[in-house]
Amino acid sequence: MDRATIDWRSARDAGNLAEFANRDLTMRPTVHALEELHREGLLSDEAFDAARESLPAVDQGSRADWGRGLLLVYGSVLLLAGVVFHFAFNWQGMSKFAKFGVVEFALAACVACAWRKGFETFTGQVLMVGASIMTGVLLAVFGQIYQTGADPYELFLGWSALIFGFVVTSQLAGHWFLWLVLLNIGLFLRWEQAGVPAEVAYEWSCLQLGALNGLALAAREWCPARGQSWLGSAWLRPMLVSGVLIPMTFPLAHCVVEADDITLLRGVIGMAWFGLAGGLYWWYRDKLPDINVIGLVIFNTAVILLIFIGDVLLEPLNWDSGWLLAISIASLAVMSGSGMWIGRVSRLMKARDSEVNP
């Protein structure tokens, strides 16, 4: 049961629905929640009608804010895309000063307008994201004009380093996530281009990316309680958990498929995956309940199990039609079981929440 439903039930028991109807938006349920309570007999007809009357203005305001934010982001994306495609179409006909001038003017305009609007406003935050994008365009233009010979990984690592100040200033979760994506790409390309894949095992890159995203996940959980509420966006958690699990999955899958070629590093990372998945499952089931993370852990486990089943069935059936039928049945069974497991955990979490907040 969510917080809004609990508060409305408390209001019914206290006989003071009017007070709860006038609380701020974070404490106000949706129309669907009110209808559910009304159907269950937890709200009288009079209380339901009174509560409904308090919702339309709030709903309309929140929808308008959401629409304005969406249009702002959409317009910003189109504007930035226009700058990029302007270069692509007119590259040969522009002097190098014109190329630098357009990008630098756009970058300076984004920062100046963000300062004018206020870095704490959503408009200012989106403008700072635009400044970060223009920084990447500036680096690309510089590399094309002067042919520095720099590897792509240096572009991404330099890009992430240069925009770090913009990220801290904007205090926008999406901006921080963009910075983290650039850093991930840079580190992966560094292994591919400078790490000599033939000499440096890819497991080191997986371990590096998993550790980086693990630190980011820890920051997301630790910082909001210490004044950095902008890092507490709910969507960040499953994205970061995916960033931790996915790199660690590849070495484990390699161990499953090639059991006779398990190196020490690969085996250690494979075993670490079990501890990591178990720790995430326990933490986000008992300490910080989040069914989305539980679903990701269970799905990741199901993928590993299917890889194992496919490898076991592959050799005797030799990739014939029987193997395809067997793996299809196994996939259906494993995914169905995973769905049932997620549903069971969800019910247990709701029951426990009801006991804590009756």
Instruction: Give the pLDDT confidence of 90-127 residue by residue, as tens digits.
Output: 888 888 888 899 899 999 999 999 999 999 898 999 99
Measured N-to-C along each axis, helices 122-146 and 173-193 cross at an angle, to the nearest 10 degrees, of 20
| Residue 192 belongs to some domain of the structure | no
- Same domain? 159 vs 42: no
- Same domain? 167 vs 228: no
| Residue 183 belongs to some domain of the structure | no
| Residue 331 belongs to some domain of the structure | yes
Structure tokens at 31: 């129309």
Q: Average pLDDT for residues 136-164, to the nearest whole number?
A: 89
Q: List the domain range (segments joined by +) for residue 11.
A: 1-54
| Residue 110 belongs to some domain of the structure | yes
Judged against a pLDDT cut of 50, whether residue 50 lies above it is answered with yes
Q: 263: which residues sit within 8 A by CB, 6+ positions away?
A: 201, 203
* Mean of the per-residue pLDDT values of the chain: 83
- Same domain? 211 vs 355: yes
- Per-residue confidence (pLDDT) for residue 82, from 0 to 100: 85
- Per-residue confidence (pLDDT) for residue 337, from 0 to 100: 96
- Same domain? 211 vs 334: yes
- Same domain? 38 vs 97: no
What confidence category does residue 7 fall into, taking pLDDT thresholds of 50, 70 and 90?
very low
Locate tokens 């720790």: which residue?
Answer: 279
What confidence category does residue 18 fall into, taking pLDDT thresholds of 50, 70 and 90?
very low
- Same domain? 139 vs 239: no
- Same domain? 213 vs 265: yes
What confidence category does residue 19 fall into, taking pLDDT thresholds of 50, 70 and 90?
very low
| Residue 181 belongs to some domain of the structure | no
- Same domain? 36 vs 79: no
| Residue 271 belongs to some domain of the structure | yes
Flag the least confident range among 75-79, 300-304, 354-358.
Answer: 354-358
Q: How far apart are CA 262 and CA 348, in angstroms?
A: 38
Flag the least confident range among 32-36, 141-145, 279-283.
Answer: 32-36
Per the document, the length of the chain is 358
Q: Average pLDDT for residues 63-83, to the nearest whole number?
A: 82
- Over residues 160-217, the pLDDT tens digits come to 999 999 999 999 999 999 999 999 999 999 888 776 655 667 888 899 999 999 999 9
What confidence category does residue 31 fall into, taking pLDDT thresholds of 50, 70 and 90?
low
Which residue pairs, CB below 8 angstroms and at least 24 apart, start in 228-231?
Answer: 228/171, 230/171, 230/172, 230/173, 231/173, 231/176
- Same domain? 350 vs 257: yes
How large a percentage of the chain has pLDDT more than 90?
Answer: 42
Count the domains in the chain. Answer: 3
Flag the least confident range among 8-12, 57-61, 246-250, 272-276.
Answer: 8-12
Structure tokens at 28: 């106000």
- Per-residue confidence (pLDDT) for residue 280, from 0 to 100: 96
- Per-residue confidence (pLDDT) for residue 260, from 0 to 100: 77
- Same domain? 235 vs 272: yes
Looking at 132, 151, 172, which one is the last position of a domain? 172
- Per-residue confidence (pLDDT) for residue 9, from 0 to 100: 47
| Residue 60 belongs to some domain of the structure | no
Assess contact for 5 and 353: CB atoms under 8 A.
Answer: no
Flag the least confident range among 30-34, 292-296, 338-342.
Answer: 30-34
- Same domain? 148 vs 208: no
| Residue 147 belongs to some domain of the structure | yes
Judged against a pLDDT cut of 60, whether residue 8 lies above it is answered with no
User: Would you tell me how many other CB atoms lie within 10 Å of the CB of residue 81?
Assistant: 11
- Over residues 306-353, the pLDDT tens digits come to 998 888 776 676 667 777 888 889 999 999 999 999 999 999 988 888
- Same domain? 162 vs 209: no
